[in-house]
Amino acid sequence: MDTKQRKNMLRKKIPLYILAIVILLTAGVGFLFRSEIKTVNSIEKVDDYGVYTMEYAGDYGFDEFLEVGASNDEELIAFVARKLLKGLPITITGPKLSCTTFNAVTPRGEFIFGRNFDMDYSPAVLIHTKPDNGYESISMVNLAFLGYNDDYLPDQFFDKILALAAPYVPLDGINEKGLAVGVLLLPDTPPTMQETGKININSTTAIRMLLDKAATVDEAVAMLKEYDMHDSASSCFHYQITDAAGNSAIIEYVNNEMQVLKPEATYQVCTNFFQTPGEKYNFGVGQERYNIVMNGLKEKGGVITAEYGMNLLEAARMIDEPDEKTGIIYNTQWSAVYNNNQKCVDLAIGKNYDKVYRFSIGK
């Protein structure tokens, strides 16, 4: 074989070498990011309103987060970008939400937790997480907080990648032990900013912590006391937490002091005003929605079916209600009735109460 023939053969082999290298690199990247790819590929649209489901595969690094925490949205963004998105830029916009929650018991003796999420239009995802060092849970995430909108939805592979941050921004959910939690806005300033030297958490990471780590209301309360709360988005929030034994508590922070409000009856209702006795009592909005739900529960002695609970949420829904301060036109984005004992949720999307979806942990 002369020199010319050897050169021609080499030219033919070079593209094959390059192809082999590309295949090996692709396989290596695929193996390295196999959990992320599996998670992204699991995202499916379940309702044309813009609601999706996602099965989160692998570790999202929450134990590592709890070791360092975050005192503001920027620190949370930096952690999530580094840990989950491998340096890809992300914007997490804090919630400007309204909302209604309540708890009750069914005629069968099961406990339920109802929740309206009220905001301007926002696509959403129901995320299923199963951490190695925590409880399995399902939770609702407003995808608008991650930059999605009606013109940018997680329908294509590369458009889905930012949804990998979803475990860090849940707004309500339930775990395998039957603990359920929801966050609600308080129209107050300044935001809660505890500075006692403990590790800092914010509103949505507090919910993730409780879903991952707490089995009862008492455990949840004790856990929150171990961290300094820093509210997101320069806003104020409070929380309702319930469990499979029928316990409930509303958590508020008044002048940076944590307040735990237990119900006088077997049921409790929360909207967007303070319920802590004292200087801030009844400050806020949502009293009309509160009365609709509270009166409905009183009428039944706190014993209601899940269907009746959804009816109460429908009666308290928000329809094109403007907020003069923020400019937001509030509408109920989803209504959820969680069953603390069955560990499931009935979900109505975009005020369509004729079509209710059911999702369960482990199914």
Residues 94-128 pLDDT 10s: 556 779 999 999 999 999 999 999 999 989 999 99
Check pLDDT > 90 for residue 9: no
Burial class (CB in 10 A: 0-12, 13-18, 19+), 245: middle
pLDDT of residue 78: 87
Q: Give the distance from CA 102 to its chain's centroid.
A: 17
Domain residue ranges in the chain: 39-360
Instruction: Tell me the residue type at 230.
Output: H
Characterise 304 by phi-psi region: left (phi > 0), alpha (psi -120 to 50), beta (else): beta
Whole-number Å distance between alpha carbons of 163 and 91: 11
Mean pLDDT for the stretch of residues 176-197: 94
Q: What percent of the chain has pLDDT over 70?
A: 87
Q: Report in angstroms the alpha-carbon separations of 162 from 77, 169, 207, 249.
A: 12, 12, 20, 33
Average pLDDT for residues 189-210, to the nearest whole number? 94
pLDDT at 305: 98
pLDDT at residue 23 above 70? no
Backbone phi, psi, residue 323, to 5°: -110, 115
So what's the pLDDT on residue 251? 98
Residue 363's pLDDT is 60
Residue 80 confidence (pLDDT): 87
- Comparing 17-26, 117-126, 222-231, 262-271, which segment has the lowest mean pLDDT? 17-26
User: Looking at residue 280, what is its pLDDT?
Assistant: 95
Which of residues 92 and 52 earns the better pLDDT score?
52
Q: How confident is the model at residue 199 (pLDDT cuts 50, 70, 90)?
A: very high
Mean pLDDT score, 200-224 = 97
pLDDT(323) > 90: no
- Is the predicted pLDDT of residue 12 greater than 50, yes or no? no
Cα(101)–Cα(293) distance, integer angstroms: 9
The reported pLDDT for the residue numbered 183 is 96
Average pLDDT on 171-192 reads 95
pLDDT, mean over the chain: 88
Query: Residue 180: which of 168, 167, 189, 171 has the closest Cα?
Result: 171
Residue 10 pLDDT exceeds 70: no
| pLDDT bracket for residue 6 (50, 70, 90) | very low
Residue 95: the pLDDT is 56
Q: Is the pLDDT score of 217 beyond 90? A: yes
Model confidence pLDDT, tens digit, residues 268-294: 999 999 999 999 999 999 999 999 999
- The band of 46, judged by pLDDT with boundaries at 50, 70 and 90, is very high
The answer, yes or no, to whether residue 24 has pLDDT greater than 60, is no
| Rounded-to-integer distance, Cα 175 and Cα 179, Å | 6
Predicted confidence (pLDDT) at residue 7 exceeds the cutoff of 50: no
Q: CATH for 39-360?
A: 3.60.60.10
Instruction: Give yes or no for residue 332 having a pLDDT over 60.
Output: yes
pLDDT for residue 54 = 97
Looking at residues 74-102, what average pLDDT do you find?
78
**pTM (2 decimals)?**
0.89
Give the per-residue pLDDT at 89.
67
What average pLDDT does range 78-95 have in this prediction? 74
**Model pLDDT, residue 94:** 59
> Which residues, in sequence order, are bridge partners of residue 52?
45, 125
